[in-house]
Structure 1
Amino acid sequence: MSTSSQYDVIIIGGGPAGLTAGLYTSRAKLKTILIEGSAVGGRMAEAWEIENYPGFTESINGYDLTQKMYEQATKFGVEHAQSSVTAIINDGANKTVTTTSGDYVAPAIIIAGGSERRKLGVPGEKELAGRGVSFCATCDGPFFRDKVVAVVGGGNGALNEATHISHFASKVYIIHRRDTLRATPVLQEKTKSDPKIEFIWNTDVEAIEGEDTVEHLKLKNIRTGEESTLPVGGVFIAVGLVPNTDYLKGLVEMDSSGAVVTNDKMETNVPGIYAAGDVRANSVRQVVTAAGDGATAAIYAQKYIAEK
């Protein structure tokens, strides 16, 4: 590739927000490239089933929905580069996106890089990653067939992980540091009615232990202080998300969690730079709202370019 490639719009991130933004900008005949560091789809592609996306009366697999979105966007001309973004340089009229495979230049950028799983930060989590410690039940579920496993967390992500892994595991413990769940009522009912799933309330995981693979968890009841050991063959961490915004520090306004602050037009405090989806402050982290953010960002990016 040459030193830099010129586009009308650069989209960073290939989840539902980025793919929808690409669909809208390319349909508007804007030369668009979508840059994604790994596989397109983001966390949407990891979902075993999505049953609340409009238009699908039956649930759809997240990977399948990703493919449909990707094919629709590329049909209208979106280019795709698999590369990691390391920095954005704002030159005013043009912005330069620096990646591991070269530079891209455009007047408008839509940041839709999503988020990654938050870590517990306990002993054994890093050391046993990939050897019983997992952050994706859809990816790793079959490896835990007929095993006893634990899921840590109490939100939608944790309960989705638990209901999926119960297809494979013989027993699933959900460990939650509170005595109530943040997940939606539908998911709570689904989880509580699963005979393989059992809840452990008011409990923190203090350590993940094992020789070559996960063998047990060290637990502590946060109310009584009682410590215990839970034998498991695997543990799935689902305790929240962290926005992928390290490369944006000093460029755009972010909140205390590292999410990008926008207005209702998805504009950041830097003209020509927009944010959409999970990476945006106050996102409700749903596929449908990410898609809506992407469409909004694309429409206002188009207006910005036209005015320039």
Structure 2
Amino acid sequence: DQFRASKIMIDRVTKNPKIKFVLNSVINEFIGNSLLEGAVVENIKTHTKQTIKASGAFIAIGHVPNTNVFQGILPIGEKGYIETNNPPFTNIEGIFVAGDVYDYKYRQAITAAGSGCQAAIQVEKYLADLS
């Protein structure tokens, strides 16, 4: 229903006549042998499928945080991110967060790597303090 990119990027792509938007949809299948020829796309609201011709695809990861396993354990906001005021710490001692499970703002591999390093250092300190 809505875009989650920066306003500049949204403006840029919506003004590009070569870009067609297929919202509320997922790719079920890529079509082609040695080269991409298209994709079967399913609308997640109507469950209708269509085949779209394409010679290229851009795959993005990390846009939906994989936090279902933490439901009922850690506070999770309406967009699925773990809520914490002081990352990498959570509201439960000994549980730390890093990367895309809590970072709804930047969602970049480099920031995920940095927060992973911070969390690892805090885990090491936490475990050392236990002994």
**TM-score band w.r.t. shorter chain:** 0.5 to 0.7
Q: Which has the larger radius of gyration?
A: 1
Q: What SS class does the counterpart of residue 125 from structure 2 fall into?
A: helix
Instruction: Determine if contact 1:274/1:297 at 8 Å carries over to the other structure.
Output: yes
1:282 maps to a residue whose letter is Y
Deviation string 1:92-142 (CA, Å, 9 cap, x unpaired) is xxxxxxxxxxxxxxxxxxxxxxxxxxxx544xx46xx1244xxxxxxx9x5
Post-superposition Cα deviations, 1:22-73, rounded to whole Å, max 9, x if no partner, equal: xxxxxxxxxxxxxxxxxxxxxxxxxxxxxxxxxxxxxxxxxxxxxxxxxxxx
TM-score by length of 2: 0.58
1:247 aligns with 2:59: no
1:233 is displaced (CA, Å) by: 4.6
* AA partner of residue 261 (structure 1): E
Contact residue 266 and residue 296 of structure 1 kept, 8 A = yes
Structure 1 position 257 matched with structure 2 position 79: yes
Q: Please give the per-residue CA displacement for 1:237-265, whole angstroms capped at 9, x wherever unaligned.
A: 86882111111100011111111123444
Q: Is the 8 A contact 2:87 2:98 kept in 1?
A: no
Shift of 1:302: 1.7
TM-score of the aligned structures, taking structure 1 as reference length: 0.27
How far the C-alpha of 1:290 sits from its partner, in A, is 1.0
Partner letter of residue 290 of structure 1?
A
Q: CA deviation at 1:287?
A: 1.8
Name 2:35's counterpart in structure 1. Answer: 143
- Structure 1 unaligned runs (5+)? 1-119, 133-139, 151-206, 217-231
Say if 1:302 and 1:233 are closer, same or farther in 2 by CA, change over 3 A: closer
Contact 1:276 1:293 in 2 (8 A): yes
Cα distance in 1 between the residues matched to 2:54 and 2:99: 34
Higher relative contact order by CA 8 Å / sep ≥ 6: 1 or 2? 1
> Structure 2 unaligned runs (5+)?
1-22, 40-47
Q: Give 1:290's aligned residue.
A: 112
Among all aligned residue pairs of Structure 1 and Structure 2, give the percentage whose two residues are the same amino acid: 33
Assess if the C-alpha contact under 8 Å between 1:266 and 1:276 holds in 2. yes
Matched, 1:280 2:102: yes
1:270 to 85, 92, 95: 92
Q: Is 1:130 aligned to 2:29, yes or no?
A: yes
CA distance in 2, matches of 1:264, 1:243: 18
1:24-43 residue pairs with structure 2 within 5 A? none
Return the structure number with greater strand share.
1
RMSD: 3.4
Q: Is the 8 A contact 1:277 1:283 kept in 2?
A: no
Measured at CA, do residues 305 and 252 of structure 1 come closer, stay the same or move farther in structure 2, by a change above 3 Å?
A: same
Change (3 A) 1:255 1:241: same
3-state SS in 1 of match to 2:77 = coil
In structure 2, give the amino acid aligned to 1:287.
A
Q: How many residues align?
A: 100
